[in-house]
Amino acid sequence: MSSGKPISGRGGAARTDLAAPTSEAVINALPLPVLTVGSDDRILHVNHAGETFFDHSARLMQRRRLSDIIPFASPIIALVAEVRRRRASVSEYGVELVQPRSGLERSVDVFATPLGDNDEVVVLMLQERTIADKMNRQLTHRGAARSMVALGAMLAHEIKNPLAGIRGAAQLLEQSGNEDDRLLTRLICDESDRIVRIVERMELFGDERPVERGSVNVHGVLDQVKRSAQSGFARHIRFVETYDPSLPPVLGNRDQLVQVILNLVKNAAEAVGADAVDGEITLSTAFRTGLRLQVPGSRERVSLPIEVAVRDNGPGVSADLLPDLFDPFVTTKAQGSGLGLALVAKIVGDHGGIVECDPVPRRTTFRLLLPMSSARDGRESSAEL
């Protein structure tokens, strides 16, 4: 037991032991939801992260049973029973958890253990898989983008030149053909032009020239995108803005960020549909702490506190499509090339950030997590408007 007196440390320096934190303070400091469940499955304690996760206060949750905040048929209920039966810790990964209050579906890893010698009291810790999946998918997106670099360069040479010859031959035939022949030659020219446009978009993946980056006011970018959309493809859609006014500037290239967000807004408008009478797109920003991403080829870890989100009230994204959503040539549009979101993933990856999709019907959200711009001395730098 510490006497509270100074203790001589290395080199004769004196130090004073700090008072040990209480167990409750330690649990509340954890960033993961932790719940203590009694013998009748009544919730005895929940930490601060658990209150945020379940969107309930600790006082309210302590009046309820586990089945009140988790569906009765959830594997988590059975997991608690198994811990009591085996009197040992049990873990389960990738459990789908639907919260009754919000209907929000999450994938979590669950860790359950008896509390000391009391086999009836179980401690539950949940770890949402979103962050881990983001990291894995981000690496996949970057790998797909790198493969597109070589593919784009190859297609530029191997396809565009022969297409020019095909189009020229079709134009010559058009001059001497009848009306039916001219319809076919015009079709050849139009389709050749369409293929050239696709190849030109793919060439963007092969552009490895360094891009100048600096401090960018992301609200200025969002305002430009909104004005452009409202004057064209999204004139029939209502925009809602939910911004953090104290948001620091982003480290990025303004033109590329405009391209990324414009692409996401256009996709949102197409998901809402041209005939929608209640179409709505929400643009939002927020400052998030705690997410850091290791830079490929380096031990450096970059913080990604700037969140920019584009949400629409369209029908959502198919679960089958979600794992490959940012891969090239993946699209649900009849006339789409499937390169827009692949290019978004490349640009965001080049910025050292993450792009993620939450495909909830009527509130599908594409979320960008980006690095913050700082001055050389660590102070926030002024942003370009």
Tell me the per-residue pLDDT of 205-222, one tens digit each, with 9 for 90 and over: 555 556 688 999 999 999
pLDDT recorded at residue 378: 44
Q: Which whole number is the average pLDDT over 69-94? A: 85
Cβ–Cβ contacts within 10 Å for residue 293, how many? 19
Pick 193 or 385 by higher pLDDT: 193
Return the closest-CA partner of residue 126 out of 114, 104, 107, 109. Answer: 109
What integer pLDDT is reported at residue 220 of this predicted model?
94
Highest mean pLDDT among 132-136, 179-183, 189-193, 305-309: 305-309
Examine the pLDDT at 3 and tell me if it is beyond 50: no
Query: Residue 157 has what pLDDT?
Result: 56
| Highest mean pLDDT (candidates 54-63, 104-113, 307-316, 322-331) | 307-316
Across the strands, what pairs with 374? 380
pLDDT at 333 over 60: no
Q: Which pLDDT value is given to residue 94? A: 76
Lowest mean pLDDT, pick from 4-13, 60-69, 187-196: 4-13
Average per-residue pLDDT for the chain: 77
* 10-38 average pLDDT score: 70
Between 25-29, 199-203, 375-379, the lowest mean confidence (pLDDT) is in: 375-379
Q: Amino acid identity of 342?
A: A
pLDDT of residue 139: 52
- Write down the pLDDT at residue 90: 86
- The stretch 245-264 carries a mean pLDDT of 91
* Look-up of token digits 């620091």: 248
Q: Which of 20-24, 51-55, 279-283, 305-309 has the lowest mean pLDDT?
A: 20-24
What residues have CB less than 8 Å from 373, skipping those under 6 apart?
214, 215, 216, 248, 249, 250, 251, 252, 380, 381, 383
> What is the share, in percent, of the chain residues with pLDDT greater than 90?
19
Q: Determine the Cα–Cα distance for residues 303 and 373; give it in Å rounded to an integer.
A: 11
Q: Decide if pLDDT at 11 tops 70.
A: no
The confidence score (pLDDT) of residue 264 equals 93
User: What was the pLDDT predicted at 291?
Assistant: 63
pLDDT given at position 148: 54
Across the range 232-237, mean pLDDT stands at 89
> What is the predicted pLDDT for the residue at 301?
61
Percent of the chain with pLDDT over 70: 70
pLDDT band at 240 (very low <50, low <70, confident <90, very high): very high
pLDDT of residue 1: 43
Q: What is the pLDDT of residues 284-300, one digit of tens each?
A: 999 987 566 655 555 55
Averaged pLDDT for residues 122-129: 86
Distance, CA of 21 to CA of 356 (rounded, Å)? 37
Digit-coded pLDDT (tens) for 262-284: 989 999 999 898 888 889 999 99
Q: Which of the pair, 105 or 36, is modelled with greater confidence?
A: 36
Mean pLDDT calculated for residue range 198-203: 65
- Predicted pLDDT at 377: 39
